[in-house]
Every structure is written in structure tokens, then in C-alpha cells.
């Protein structure tokens, strides 16, 4: 699939295809700073993003004390307080990791019901992005809506005295769980050039979510898609 996609992209360039993008994906901080340097300090103030139209963002709060989710300019940041999931809907927090963009308009399509697993989804998003004229050689955002068969999630609550970071310890440091047959909105960023920056080394995607009833929000570790879900990509000119 990657070889075929690369050939398609090369042919597009040879034919003179240009990409008219109305957005730019920005990021601050890096996953490798957590894992190899123990640097979980603030790298960006969310207040700098306030009042930006069409803002979409995800990341980790300062000192890895929660998860960042911003959908169309509305924050729904999650953190652990007294053993329970709590939410902050302000721009007053800071981020140790942040990925964000501004989108004017999305283009929606139905996801094939054959797409179920995390890896299938990653390949499918690359395929549809290419077909839609999205430049996959640059990072781009996506949204997924509908009823997911399952979402395995976590909200980090790191102990600042612990300098030995692993992905498993991140998951287990706060709250985590698995939701079944859940209606949700998923925000993701795709990039084939940012492993250990804002995607883990095993994937080209980083995804967060919010349930439609606003009861759970956080980082997605695994997902099984349900039937009749929808994918939104930035609309191209």
C-alpha cells in the first residue's frame, strides 16, 4: 500500500498537481522529550490560541497532568482529580505537547464498513486523503464521527518525581478504560514525518476523542470502528 501510494503521489507531481491548502499544522513539544529526557515542562500556553476561528488541537497538559482536546475552538480538556475524570473548558492551561491547526471547511465521506482496526484506518485515511487532493507529505488533521464499536483510552496523570517514562506507565498513571458502542467525535493528526514528535513510533496517527454525551474525553490507544462512521478531511480547492 505504501509503495502504491508513493507511486500515485509521484505521478501527481509529474502531472503538475499542486496543493492549495488553507491550513497549516503547528506543534510544540515532542514525545521524545518525555521518553528520553524526562522533559514534561510547558512548551505552549493555550491562551495564545483563544479566539482563533476553526481551531482544532490535541496534546498533553503541562507536566503530563491531563489531555488536551479542542474542537472548533471549544476546549474540552480532561484531567484526573481525586480519582475521577474532570474537565476544563478554558484556555488557561499550558501544554507540554500540542498539535493544532485552523480549518475553514471540512469534506465528509462515509468510511467503508470493511475498515475496523486502527491500522486499517491509518491506511484508509492515507488513501482517501490522496484521492481528495490532500498533501500527505505534510501533516494534516482529520475528524471521525459516529458510533465506534470500541475505544480504548487514557487520561494521563503523571507523577513528576518519576523520571522513567514508558507508554505503558503513561497509560496506567491516570484513568483508562474501554468504551463499547460509543457515539464520539474523534480528532486526529496524520503525519509520516513526525514519529516521536507528535505520533508514536509505530503509527502515523495521533488521535483524541470526546463522547457525544461529554462524559469522557482523552487519548485514544486503540479503536474498533463501527458501521456507518464518517471521515472528515480538510476541503481542498
| Contact predicate 113/124, CB 8 Å | no
Which positions ≥6 away from 14 have C-beta within 8 Å?
Answer: none
Ramachandran angles phi, psi of 7, nearest 5°? -65, -40
pLDDT of residue 20: 52
CA–CA separation, 19 and 13 (whole Å):
10
| pLDDT for 10 beyond 50 | no
pLDDT number for residue 26: 96
Instruction: Report the share of the chain in percent with pLDDT over 90.
Output: 76
Rounded CA-CA distance 169/166 in Å is 5
Q: Give me the mean pLDDT over the 160-174 stretch.
A: 88
In the prediction, which pLDDT does 15 show?
42
Higher pLDDT, 228 or 13: 228
- Please provide residue 160's backbone torsions phi and psi, each rounded to the nearest 5 degrees: -65, -15
Cα within 13 Å of Cα(181), Cβ side: 0
pTM of the full predicted structure? Answer: 0.89
- pLDDT confidence band for 4 (50 / 70 / 90): very low
- pLDDT given for residue 196 in this prediction: 65
Side-chain-side CA neighbours of 173 within 13 Å: the count stands at 23
pLDDT-derived band of residue 201, with 50, 70 and 90 as boundaries? confident
Given this model, what pLDDT does residue 39 score? 86
Beta bridge partners of 164: none
Q: How confident is the model at residue 227 (pLDDT cuts 50, 70, 90)?
A: very high
Other CB atoms within 10 A of residue 229 CB: 20
Phi, psi dihedrals of residue 10, rounded to the nearest 5°: -65, -40
Q: Predicted confidence band at 6 (pLDDT cuts at 50, 70, 90)?
A: very low
Structural domains in the chain plus CATH codes: 26-102 (3.30.1330.80), 106-234 (3.30.1330.80)
Question: Which of 236, 185, 158 shows the shortest CA–CA distance to 76?
Answer: 185
* Measured distance CA(11)–CA(6) in Å, rounded: 9
Q: What is the pLDDT of residues 51-106, one digit of tens each?
A: 999 999 999 999 999 999 999 999 999 999 999 999 999 999 999 999 999 999 99
Higher-pLDDT residue of 197 and 84 is 84
Check residue 1 and give its pLDDT. 43
Average of pLDDT values for 223-236?
97
Average the pLDDT over 140-166 and give the result. Answer: 95
- Exposed, middle or buried: residue 236 (CB in 10 Å: 0-12, 13-18, 19+)? middle
Amino acid at each position: 500500500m505504501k509503495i502504491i501510494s508513493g507511486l500515485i503521489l509521484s505521478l501527481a507531481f509529474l502531472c503538475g498537481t499542486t496543493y492549495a491548502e488553507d491550513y497549516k499544522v503547528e506543534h510544540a513539544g515532542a514525545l521524545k522529550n518525555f521518553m528520553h529526557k524526562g522533559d514534561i515542562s510547558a512548551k505552549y500556553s493555550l491562551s495564545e490560541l483563544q479566539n482563533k476561528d476553526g481551531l482544532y488541537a490535541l496534546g498533553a497538559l503541562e507536566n503530563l497532568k491531563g489531555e488536551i482536546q479542542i474542537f472548533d475552538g471549544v476546549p474540552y480538556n480532561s484531567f484526573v482529580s481525586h480519582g475521577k475524570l474532570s474537565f476544563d473548558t478554558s484556555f488557561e492551561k499550558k501544554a507540554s505537547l500540542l498539535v493544532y491547526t485552523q480549518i475553514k471547511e471540512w469534506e465528509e465521506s462515509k468510511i467503508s464498513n470493511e475498515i475496523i482496526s486502527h491500522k486499517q484506518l491509518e491506511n484508509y485515511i492515507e488513501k482517501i486523503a490522496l484521492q481528495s487532493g490532500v498533501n500527505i507529505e505534510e501533516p494534516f488533521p482529520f475528524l471521525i464521527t459516529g458510533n465506534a464499536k470500541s475505544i480504548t483510552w487514557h487520561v494521563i496523570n503523571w507523577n513528576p518525581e518519576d523520571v522513567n517514562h514508558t507508554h505503558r506507565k503513561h497509560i496506567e498513571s491516570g484513568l483508562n478504560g474501554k468504551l463499547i458502542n460509543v457515539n464520539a467525535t474523534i480528532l486526529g493528526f496524520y503525519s509520516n514525518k513526525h514519529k516521536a514528535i507528535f505520533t508514536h513510533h509505530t503509527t502515523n496517527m495521533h488521535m483524541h476523542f470526546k463522547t457525544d454525551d461529554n462524559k469522557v474525553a482523552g487519548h485514544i490507544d486503540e479503536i474498533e470502528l463501527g458501521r456507518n462512521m464518517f471521515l472528515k478531511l480538510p476541503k481542498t480547492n
